[in-house]
Structure 1
Amino acid sequence: MQIRATNPEDKELRREAILDTAEQLWLTHPERMCNVADIATAAGLAKGTVYLYFRSKEELFLGIHERHNATFFSRLKARAQHAPPMTIDDLFSIQRQFLLDFPAFLPVATLCHGLLERQIPLDIAFAFEQRTFTQLTEVVTALRDHFPQATQALMLQSYALLIGLWQLLRPTPLKELMKERSLLCACADDYLQMLEAALKSLWRGALTPEIH
């Protein structure tokens, strides 16, 4: 028998458990976006219970994406708030480990960008963007102790590279055919290596003082 969550702590634990279940289903079946009924069954909950926390499967996946973002931002802030001084290598070591720890991040992030424009109510999408903006501001403030030229624009450019390069290189039947017929360089197999090289070039350029 399902026990109703009544206090804030229990409700948060249940919300997290629903997100955990949905993320695991996504990793198990990445070819499709599971529905609320699938998630409820896997979590051992009634479908109506899931709807108490998320009004749609789209909002649920947005919750997964927001949780990923919060984890990445917290890792950056935690490192930035402690000595010794950060280097660019430290910055991208954190990012690399995050991508390895959360393999659902890239596909869910790509999915959610489409959902925000088409299938998420405007007030929900705005609230998500507002929370993300607040966290981003906190991260930039923390990073400026180590990288005085760090800006929100630089972080957004980094994010665009992160997602855009993955969309370009992610494994698909079409990409395999392109490599087979020499339309795609074999070096494209190492996304993390190419991403790190591109991001380091971006950051080194942004952090180098202009010479007039």
Structure 2
Amino acid sequence: MGSAASAADDINALEIHHWYRKFMKECPSGQLSLHEFKGLLGLHGMNPEATKYIEQVFSTFDMNKDGFIDFLEFIAAINLVLRGKIDQKLKWYFKLYDADGNGSIDRKELLSIITAVQAINGHQGMSPEEFTTLLFTKIDVNGDGELTLEEFIGGIEKDPDLLELISKSFDLSNVLKTIQNGRRRSMP
């Protein structure tokens, strides 16, 4: 919980008040469920890959793993997306990719999450298979087919092209714009 509070310190009081009003308007209970999260972003009825990605994003923002995103977790997420340093964002990406939570990313996990991201954001110019192969070729230094946090961060920080590719793929500013502007209208 301390990390959420320290992340909130980076956002000024006026911004916190603004986000609090938005959060409470969309979520009067003060706790955002996965179902509400999907509704807020207009993401119900997505294909299984996209749904899995949204669930993984929700899970990484639900820091205390209680099944809800409370306001402090919400502010920590906003701070990461808007002001997070590159190493903070890379740690978050790693956590997002590490779907089974075992501390490493294997090819299957990476392929799955990239497939899901493309299902939501559209094709990024490279197939999920090509992206996965590229990433492992460039940064799996010991060739064991798994990426540790150190390999992941070190490899991406040393490769500006990979850093740009990953940053574009996981840009969540559109999520914040949706929240800031209110709920998306459901398509008929």
Same fold by TM-score, threshold 0.5 exceeded? no
Considering fraction of residues, name the structure with more strand: 2
Considering fraction of residues, name the structure with more helix: 1
Q: TM-score, normalised by structure 2?
A: 0.25
Higher relative contact order (CA 8 A, sep 6+): 2
